[in-house]
Amino acid sequence: MSTDDIKFIPYQEAARLVGAIQEEEDIERQDKRILTVYSKDDKELCWFDFDDVMAELGEVEAGERKEAVHHYVLSRIPDWVREL
């Protein structure tokens, strides 16, 4: 499935739904990091490949990195999380 086929929820809805975005080790791939997205009630919603996100963001100043990642993720929460 390409990203063109994925439908995303509106940013405001994502901001209300998401409680945390955690950088974690990928348990299936050694030496890889993922960004796991949790709901406000601590339910895992989805995840993003850390390297892919950072490549998409490009150069970001160190003090602005967390905010840039947060905005990127909230803009790309798939609509199927509503069913979880």
Model confidence at 2, in pLDDT bands (50, 70, 90)?
A: low
For residue 4, being part of any structural domain is answered with no
Q: Quick: pLDDT tens for 12-70.
A: 999 999 999 999 998 888 889 999 999 999 999 999 999 999 999 999 898 999 999 99
- Residue 70 in any domain: the answer is yes
pLDDT at 27: 84
Residue 28's pLDDT is 85
Residue 7 gets which letter from DSSP?
-
5 within some domain: no
User: CA end-to-end span of the chain, whole Å?
Assistant: 20
pLDDT at 5: 86
Which has the closest alpha carbon to 57: 37, 35, 39?
35
Q: Is 59 within the bounds of a domain?
A: yes
What pTM does this model have?
Answer: 0.88
Asked if 74 and 10 touch (Cβ cutoff 8 Å), the reply is no
Please report which residue ranges of 1-84 form alpha helices under DSSP H.
Answer: 11-17, 50-57, 65-74
Q: What are phi and psi of 20, to 5 degrees?
A: -160, 150
Q: Which domain holds residue 22?
A: 11-83
Question: How many domains is the chain built from?
Answer: 1
